[in-house]
C-alpha cells in the first residue's frame, strides 16, 4: 500500500522540481503565456520571464533539457538511419560496379590490329543502348596498351554510337582500366560447335531380346 502512495508523491515532487528548474512565473498562480512556454521547455527568454537555472541540481536551459530528454527517450530511433545507410551503401557500390562491368566494351570486342569494334562489340553496344534503362546507358571502353590504341577504341565506339543514335543526346563514354569477365566470340563459337557435334542423337537405343524362341 505504501508504494501506491509513494509513487504519486514522487511524481508531484518531480513536477515541482521541473517548475522550479525551468520556469519562473511573473505572478504566483497566474503564469503568463510566455512563462508557460518557458515552463514547457521551449527555452523562451524575455524581460517578463526568465527561466531559472541551478535549481534541483539541473543547471540546464529548457531547450537543452528537452533535447537530451527526447534524445534518450527515443533511442535508438534517431541513429537507425545511420546504421541503415552504413549497410545499404555497400549494396549501392556493388550495384554501380555491376552496371559498370556490364557496360564495359572489353579487349575481346576490339580488333587488336586496328582497334576497331568487332561485330560482337557492335552488338554489345546495341544491347546497352536498347535494353538498359535510360540512366544506365553509359559506355565504358577498356583502355589499350598505349594512348594511341585507347584513342582508336574510343573513336570507334563514338562512331558506332553516333550511327545507332543519329538524333538526340548521345550517352557518355568513359575509359576504364577494368575489363569485364568473358571470352572472345571465336572461342565461344568453337565451344558451341564442339558441344553440338558431340551431342548424342535424341533416340533411345534398340532393345535386344535374348532367347525369344525358347520355351519355359
User: Rounded to an integer, what distance in angstroms lies between the CA atom of residue 36 and that of residue 19?
Assistant: 10
The answer on 160 and 128 residing in a single domain is yes
User: Rounded to an integer, what distance in angstroms lies between the CA atom of residue 75 and that of residue 16?
Assistant: 27
The answer on 184 and 104 residing in a single domain is yes
Last residue of a domain, one of 38, 73, 108: 73
User: Quick one: which of 161, 165, 146 has its CA closest to 103?
Assistant: 161
Could you tell me if residue 207 is inside a domain? no
Give all strands (DSSP E) within the chain, no chain letters.
104-105, 139-142, 173-176
Q: Where are the alpha helices (DSSP H) in 144-184?
A: 147-164
Structural domain boundaries enclosing 36: 2-73
Could you tell me if residue 85 is inside a domain? no
How many domains does one find in the chain?
A: 2
The answer on 62 and 119 residing in a single domain is no
The answer on 176 and 136 residing in a single domain is yes
User: Quick one: which of 44, 2, 8, 1 has its CA closest to 25?
Assistant: 44
pTM for this entry: 0.55
The answer on 53 and 105 residing in a single domain is no
User: Quick one: which of 157, 174, 172 has its CA closest to 118?
Assistant: 157
The answer on 110 and 60 residing in a single domain is no
Establish whether the linkage from the previous residue to 76 is cis, with ω within 30° of 0: yes
User: Quick one: which of 41, 47, 36, 90 has its CA closest to 62?
Assistant: 41
User: Rounded to an integer, what distance in angstroms lies between the CA atom of residue 93 and that of residue 1?
Assistant: 62
The answer on 191 and 130 residing in a single domain is yes
pLDDT tens digit at each of 216 positions of the chain: 454 444 444 444 444 444 444 444 334 444 444 444 444 444 444 444 444 444 444 444 558 888 888 888 888 877 888 888 888 898 999 999 999 999 999 999 999 889 999 998 999 999 999 999 999 999 999 999 999 999 999 999 999 999 999 888 999 999 999 998 888 778 888 999 999 999 988 888 888 877 655 555
Neighbours of 209 (CB within 10 A): 6
Amino acid at each position: 500500500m505504501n508504494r501506491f502512495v509513494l509513487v504519486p508523491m514522487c511524481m508531484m515532487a518531480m513536477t515541482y522540481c521541473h517548475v522550479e528548474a525551468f520556469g519562473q512565473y511573473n505572478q504566483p498562480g497566474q503564469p503568463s503565456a510566455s512563462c508557460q512556454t518557458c515552463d514547457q521547455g521551449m527555452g523562451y527568454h524575455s524581460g517578463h520571464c526568465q527561466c531559472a537555472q541551478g535549481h534541483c541540481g539541473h543547471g540546464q536551459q529548457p531547450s537543452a533539457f528537452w533535447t537530451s530528454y527526447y534524445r534518450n527517450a527515443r533511442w535508438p530511433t534517431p541513429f537507425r538511419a545511420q546504421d541503415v545507410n552504413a549497410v545499404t551503401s555497400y549494396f549501392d557500390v556493388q550495384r554501380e560496379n555491376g552496371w559498370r562491368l556490364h557496360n564495359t566494351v572489353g579487349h575481346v570486342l576490339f580488333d587488336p590490329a586496328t582497334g576497331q569494334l568487332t561485330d560482337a562489340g557492335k552488338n554489345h553496344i546495341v544491347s546497352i543502348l536498347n535494353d538498359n534503362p535510360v540512366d544506365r546507358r553509359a559506355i565504358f571502353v577498356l583502355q589499350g596498351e598505349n594512348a594511341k590504341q585507347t584513342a582508336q577504341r574510343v573513336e570507334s565506339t563514338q562512331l558506332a554510337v553516333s550511327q545507332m543514335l543519329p538524333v538526340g543526346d548521345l550517352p557518355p563514354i568513359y575509359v576504364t582500366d577494368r575489363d569485364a569477365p568473358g571470352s572472345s566470340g571465336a572461342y565461344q563459337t568453337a565451344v558451341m560447335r564442339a558441344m553440338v557435334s558431340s551431342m548424342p542423337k535424341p533416340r533411345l537405343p534398340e532393345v535386344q531380346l535374348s532367347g525369344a524362341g525358347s520355351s519355359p
